[in-house]
Structure formats: structure tokens, C-alpha cells
């Protein structure tokens, strides 16, 4: 009998998603990771949701600070997605050499994205290996008008 989690992973490879980088800051520490488990939940009030694995620095920073920045990546930012997906070690500086900015909370956002959300934790739901974060959007800004970076079946794609 197959592991249901692995079957779900294989099924979800057929669900195309956009690609985001979730970042946070606590004190002098900052970190981020690529996330595609991201969705808008409500426009009034503005709420989004994402999950982060427990064993990540980004999870620790969001939990400690209660804030997160979300950069929605453009089609030409696949290398940036790879960088924040772990091509640079979990304990390395994923921001090295990158231009960032802030909106309301001080969470770093990555220049060149399609859109930017600055959020505060509304609530969190601990799961076995990750935490689901429900986030109030405190500030938002549109970025470039390029096409989005898409992820489907373990690879990046672009809209025609």
C-alpha cells in the first residue's frame, strides 16, 4: 500500500501554482524561503495563508516576529526561486547581493517581483511537520507587469 502523503504529492504536481518567496526578520536576523502553498483567503479584511515547514529558519522568524513579507515572483526570477528554495544552505545568507525594500513591518521584500504583501500573523495552526499561517495583509504594492513564474510538475513554466 502506498503512502498517502506521497500519492498526494504526485497528485498536486498536476496543480499549477504561482511562486512566492516568504521572508521575515526578527532582530538582526532575516531569512526567506520559496513557497507555493500560498493563497488569498479574504479581500475584506485582506487575509492570505501559507505553510512553512517547522525545521526552517523562516518558520522560526515568522513565529518569533509575527510578521512576513511575500514577494510574488515574475517569470524571469526562477534563479531567485531556486536560491530561496535551498540552493543556498539553510544557514547561509540568501539575501547576499540582492536588492530589498520594506513596506510597513520591516519584513524584507525582493525587488523585481510582480507584487508585494507585508503581513502580520492573525493566527497559526501547528500541523505535524509544518505550520499554517493565516496572515493579515497590512500593506500591498504591485510591482512589475511581467508574466508570473509558474510551477507545474516539478519544473518552472511561463504563460504564453
* Mean pLDDT of the region 16-28: 93
Does the residue 2 lie in any domain? no
pLDDT higher than 50, residue 1? no
Q: Which three cell numbers stand for residue 69?
A: 513579507
Does the residue 143 lie in any domain? yes
Give this prediction's pTM: 0.91
Does the residue 11 lie in any domain? no
Does the residue 5 lie in any domain? no
Does the residue 71 lie in any domain? yes
Cα(23)–Cα(135) distance, integer angstroms: 13
Angle at 48 between CA 36 and CA 130, to 5 degrees: 55
Per the model's pLDDT, the better-predicted residue between 94 and 92 turns out to be 94
Chain mean pLDDT for the chain: 92
- For residue 82, give the CATH number of its domain: 2.30.110.10
Query: Cis ω on the peptide bond leading into residue 83 (within 30° of 0)?
Result: no
Q: With CA atoms as reference, report the closest residue to 84 among 140, 156, 25, 20.
A: 20
Report which DSSP code applies to 73.
P
* Mean pLDDT of the region 4-11: 86
pLDDT tens string 27-66 = 999 999 999 889 999 999 999 999 999 999 999 999 999 9
- Residue 119 phi, psi (nearest 5): -130, 155
Does the residue 6 lie in any domain? no
Q: Could you give the number of structural domains in the chain? A: 1
Burial 37-46 (b: 16+ CB within 10 A, else e): ebeeeeeeeb
Give the position of cell 539575501: 95
Q: Which three cell numbers stand for residue 66?
A: 509575527
Does the residue 64 lie in any domain? yes
Give, in order, the Cα–Cα distances in Å from 88 to each of 4, 13, 30, 34.
Answer: 30, 24, 14, 12
- For residue 13, give the 3-state DSSP assignment: coil
Cα(103)–Cα(107) distance, integer angstroms: 8
Give the position of cell 497528485: 11
Q: With CA atoms as reference, report the closest residue to 152 among 7, 5, 19.
A: 19
**Which residues form the domain of 82?**
19-153
Does the residue 3 lie in any domain? no
Amino acid at each position: 500500500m502506498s503512502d498517502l502523503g506521497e500519492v498526494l504529492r504526485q497528485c498536486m504536481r498536476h496543480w499549477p501554482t504561482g511562486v512566492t518567496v516568504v521572508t521575515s526578520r526578527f532582530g538582526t536576523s532575516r531569512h526567506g524561503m520559496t513557497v507555493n502553498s500560498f493563497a488569498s483567503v479574504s479581500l475584506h479584511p485582506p487575509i492570505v495563508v501559507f505553510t512553512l515547514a517547522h525545521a526552517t529558519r523562516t518558520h522560526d522568524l515568522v513565529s518569533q516576529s509575527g510578521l512576513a513579507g511575500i514577494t510574488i515572483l515574475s517569470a524571469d526570477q526562477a534563479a531567485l526561486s531556486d536560491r530561496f528554495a535551498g540552493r543556498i544552505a539553510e544557514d547561509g545568507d540568501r539575501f547576499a547581493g540582492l536588492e530589498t525594500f520594506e513596506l510597513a513591518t520591516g519584513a524584507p521584500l525582493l525587488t523585481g517581483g510582480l507584487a508585494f504583501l507585508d503581513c502580520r500573523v492573525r493566527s497559526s495552526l501547528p500541523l505535524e511537520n509544518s505550520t499554517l499561517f493565516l496572515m493579515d495583509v497590512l500593506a500591498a504594492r504591485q510591482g512589475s507587469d511581467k508574466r508570473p513564474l509558474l510551477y507545474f510538475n516539478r519544473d518552472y513554466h511561463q504563460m504564453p
